[in-house]
Amino acid sequence: MKVCLNFIIGLLCIFSLTGCIGEDYDVGPPTAYMHMDSSKIRLKEANILWTDSSSINKVTQNIQKLAAKQKQVNVSPSQSVNLEFEENKENGGEYTDVSVNVFLWQGDKQEQLECNNNTFNFPNKKGTYVLEVDFYSHTGDIKYVGNVVIK
């Protein structure tokens, strides 16, 4: 009986370990999108410091210049936006311990926007802005940018 019990316990250990081995823990940097009304707009990766096995280190010296090269996105004052971070299709996996900060830049002036559950609202003040979205996770940090006009 004792031998049978040890055999069953051994099998359970092996099956539980094979479940862990089959998991894909190599998560590449996500792609960021803004969802507004029925639009899905991709944000441009500016700075990447990714520390998993893909190990990416990309630094953009002037993120405002990079953002200005992006297609202008027209938004309304106080418009609500939902951010989506889509996992890397090549590596799969998921992101844990994620935090997101959102900023608007107009020239040298920076304003942090309140972001809860990846949702934020643009301010009421009209103008052209650089949108900065900072994504932090246990495997790396990414700064995304966009070119936004509040009309």
Place of tokens 């899905």: 40
Q: Could you give the number of structural domains in the chain?
A: 1
Model confidence at 53, in pLDDT bands (50, 70, 90)?
low
Has residue 5 been placed in a domain? no
The answer to whether 29 and 56 are in contact (CB under 8 A) is: yes
CATH code of 117's domain = 2.60.40
The answer to whether 129 and 108 are in contact (CB under 8 A) is: no
Has residue 10 been placed in a domain? no
- Quick: pLDDT tens for 91-124: 555 677 799 999 999 999 999 999 999 999 999 9
Has residue 6 been placed in a domain? no
pLDDT recorded at residue 29: 86
Has residue 56 been placed in a domain? yes
| Backbone dihedral angles phi then psi of residue 68, each to the nearest 5 degrees | -65, -25
Q: CA-based angle 43:49:54, to the nearest 5?
A: 100
**Rounded average pLDDT over 135-147:** 93
Has residue 11 been placed in a domain? no
Has residue 17 been placed in a domain? no
Range of the domain at 94: 26-150
CA atoms of 50 and 42, how far apart (whole Å) = 19
- Quick: pLDDT tens for 21-35: 555 455 678 999 999
CA atoms of 60 and 47, how far apart (whole Å) = 6
